[in-house]
Amino acid sequence: MPTQLRHPDLSPTMDLIAKKIFHKQHLTADFIRSVLNIPVVSVEILDGTQIQLAEYDHPNFYTAVDVCAKLEDGTQVIIEVQVTKQRSFFNRMLAYLANQITDNLKRLKTDQNKTHTLYSKMDPVYCIAILEKEHFNDDRAFHTLSLYDEETLTPVYSDFHGSSQRPPMKFAFLELNKYNKDRITEYHLQKWFEFFSNKPFDIEIDPVIKEAEGLLDQTQWTKEEKRMFDQERRNRDLYEGAIAQATYDGQQLGIKQGIQKSKMEMAKAMLKDKLDIPFIAKYTGLTTDEVLSLQ
């Protein structure tokens, strides 16, 4: 029996829709507060979500995140939505965090700054990943990771800008296909899991989720948003069709080789449509270098 969806023709995890949601500051504040369990009064959505590595690094290598938000205490939170299963996804999240910290230090650096002064002005960077497919080999839909002392299990904190002690890093993963209401009992987490899962709500939704749900109403979209949505849906259909064909072809080529070949073919088609490299990598599960090699 097919899975019933609230919105059969779209998904809250689609790039366009996720950005519509997370560019609403109060919705983003509620999401971060719910997932990371930290006090959030307000957020600022930072301009530009692409992180470019230093000039001396690989000239064609860059990472792009869906949303980067800055909290009132200076903490930055990267929010990434991943629709395909990617074995190295956690490594990618580490790259996001490292690149964002490096970029922040560059902004702080001036000729007058001394190194110890520079580091005292740092703020932590946290990462949240919304995953359509499972990443961890267990049945838990929600994981949070941070630094602990291995012997005492005491959480590690550090002094940051404003002399406030905060965790130096924090990761949260929401694996949507593992969600079970009976295992995640906190309402603030349930509501966001159910929203992004796109299944009929099994709990009463609050005004925040009602507003987020309203952003999925296509009758209220601009002409440009509808055009972008149609393009993204075509890309998803292309991807799903390629994977289905790969499953069949895999009987002759081997499953892994067949799927990889189809991903490459789909990436080539998306390059012809002049789509962005990060967008192609996100929807195919290929690495940035693999996509670049097809140009």
Q: How far apart are CA 267 and CA 285, in angstroms?
A: 10
Q: How far apart are CA 280 and CA 289, in angstroms?
A: 11
Domain boundaries, the chain: 15-220, 223-292
Q: Give every CB contact of residue 5 below 8 A, 6+ residues apart in sequence.
A: 11, 198, 199
Cβ contact 73:122 at 8 Å: no
What pTM was estimated for this model as a whole?
Answer: 0.76
Q: Give every CB contact of residue 187 below 8 A, 6+ residues apart in sequence.
A: 203
Angle in degrees, 0-180, between the axes of helices 255-272 and 223-253, rounded to the nearest 10: 150
Can you tell me whether residue 210 is helix, strand or coil? helix
Q: Where are the alpha helices (DSSP H) in the chain?
A: 15-22, 25-36, 89-108, 115-120, 187-197, 207-214, 223-253, 255-272, 277-284, 288-292
274: left (phi over 0), alpha (psi -120 to 50) or beta: left
Please give the chain's pLDDT, 295 residues, in tens: 457 899 988 889 988 888 889 989 999 999 999 999 998 988 999 854 433 333 333 333 334 557 899 999 899 999 998 877 677 788 888 888 988 888 888 888 864 566 667 787 888 999 999 998 888 999 999 999 999 999 999 999 988 877 678 899 999 999 999 999 999 999 999 999 999 999 999 999 999 999 999 999 989 888 988 888 887 777 766 666 666 666 666 555 556 666 677 778 778 877 877 777 877 887 777 888 888 888 8
Q: Largest Cα–Cα distance of the chain, in whole Å?
A: 66
Please provide residue 85's backbone torsions phi and psi, each rounded to the nearest 5 degrees: -80, 125
Cβ contact 213:205 at 8 Å: yes
Q: Give every CB contact of residue 62 below 8 A, 6+ residues apart in sequence.
A: 50, 51, 52, 53, 277, 278, 288
pLDDT given for residue 50 in this prediction: 39
Nearest C-alpha neighbor of 75 from the set 168, 144, 143, 173:
168
